[in-house]
Amino acid sequence: MAEAKRERFGSRLGFILISAGCAIGLGNVWRFPYITGMYGGAAFVLIYLFFLVILGLPIMVMEFAVGRGSQKSAARSFDVLEPKGTKWHIHKYFAMFGNYLLMFFYTTIGGWMLIYFVKTKSHKLTISPKQIRIEAVTLGGILAIGIPASITNIMQSFGITLTNRYLVQYGTDKVASMGIAMKVNMIVVLIMVGFAFGAQPLLGYNYGAKNTKRLKEILRFDLMVEIGFSVVVAAILALLAPQTVNLFMHDAAIIESGSLMLRCMLISTPLIGVVLVFTTLFQAEGKAVPALLLSVSRQGVLFAICLIILSAVLGYHGVICAQATADVLTALLAISLYVGTEKKLR
């Protein structure tokens, strides 16, 4: 039975980004600045770079060579490459142990960071259940913000699963194209999420201070940033859609369908910005119901309704246009919810 064809990177850029993500860890983020300050600043950096070149670079090149030559993981690569009668396969046990050891390090440092964040806000740090006290108002505020945010992540997985379910009947290449289009669009959306959540503390502070004028100014500025950014980036990506999809896959059919899907998604990105702004506004104001409605709508209830109706009416094109249609309806819902709450503010 022929062995299944192994997946490969579609471009050098994808390989570089994956390699950087694997190489840059908590050690660089946390320990490196600390050690740099302790051992002489710039002088330490020069020594660090020197040893990085003479030790780190050769090891990295050797690891790449082993992976490229064997096309296997660290646990099986030397089983393929070793000459008969040699014991190079023993190295896999050290490789697996190193991975476990690395996870011990990461989880420990992650725990230290959590303790630091808690301790900076607490006069007394304890893990005793008897010492834990939380007021009902505080718990309500946490749930009002946390539940909609959690549901948003759940709805994202639901939307992807539902889309693939309706798209698979048109071929696996369409599913692959949609995966690429979603990942590219997700980069834009995640940046917009950062903008929206960056403004959330300002919205919450001014709402708590009952400074309605300042609250509306921040809201308008937030909307302007979200819409302006999304329009510019969406226009660029829509223009370069074939080239963008080609970075991931070189198949002509996937490039064609992926470009169409990406452009359909990009059309509604300004409306996604509107939804994000009002969702974070409602969370900042502690209004759980409006935030919850928006969280379950865009990639949940409204999306499912649009997908079912449009796929039945327009077929394949209805499937790829369902998300943009759901974005339009969710933006209208967000605006109507805001208008209703603004009347109460008056």
User: What local confidence, expressed as pLDDT, does residue 346 receive?
Assistant: 56
- The predicted pLDDT at position 312 comes to 92
As a whole number, the mean pLDDT across the chain is 81
The pLDDT of residue 7 is above 70? no
DSSP annotation of 315: T
Describe the chain by its helix, strand, coil percentages, rounded to 5. Answer: 85, 0, 15
The tokens describing 183, both together, are: 């990942």
| Amino acid at the residue 218 | I
Say which range, 127-141, 300-314, 327-341, has the weakest mean pLDDT.
Answer: 127-141
Closest CA to 300 of 330, 268, 267, 256: 330
Contact yes or no for 181/258 (Cβ under 8 A): yes
202 Cβ neighbours under 8 A, 6+ residues apart: 218
8-state DSSP, 89: G
Interval 272-307: pLDDT, tens = 999 999 988 988 887 878 888 888 888 888 999 999
**Residue whose entry in the numeric block shows the structure tokens 């999306």:** 303
Residue 205 pLDDT greater than 70, yes or no: yes
Pair 174, 316: CB distance under 8 Å: yes
Across 13-22, 281-290, 328-337, the highest mean pLDDT is recorded for 328-337
Taking the CB of residue 188, how many other CB atoms lie within 10 A of it?
19
Opening angle at CA 169, ends 181 and 271, nearest 5:
35
* C-alpha 41 chain-centroid distance: 34
Mean pLDDT of 30-36: 66
Q: Is 245 within 8 Å of 255 (Cβ atoms)?
A: yes
The Cα–Cα gap between 331 and 329 comes to: 5
Each residue's pLDDT tens digit, 75-129: 788 888 888 888 888 888 888 888 778 777 777 777 877 777 776 665 555 656 6
Burial of 277 (0-12, 13-18, 19+ CB in 10 A): buried
Cα–Cα distance measured from residue 108 to residue 30, given in angstroms and rounded to the nearest whole number: 12
Those residues whose C-beta lies under 8 Å from the C-beta of residue 74, and which sit 6 or more positions away, are: 92, 95, 96, 99
- pLDDT at position 19 is 66
Q: Is 210 helix (H, G, I), strand (E, B) or coil?
A: coil
Q: Give me 225's structure tokens.
A: 């940033």
DSSP secondary structure string, 271-310? HHHHHHHHHHHHHHTT-HHHHHHHHHHTTTHHHHHHHHHH
The answer on pLDDT for 1 being more than 50 is: no
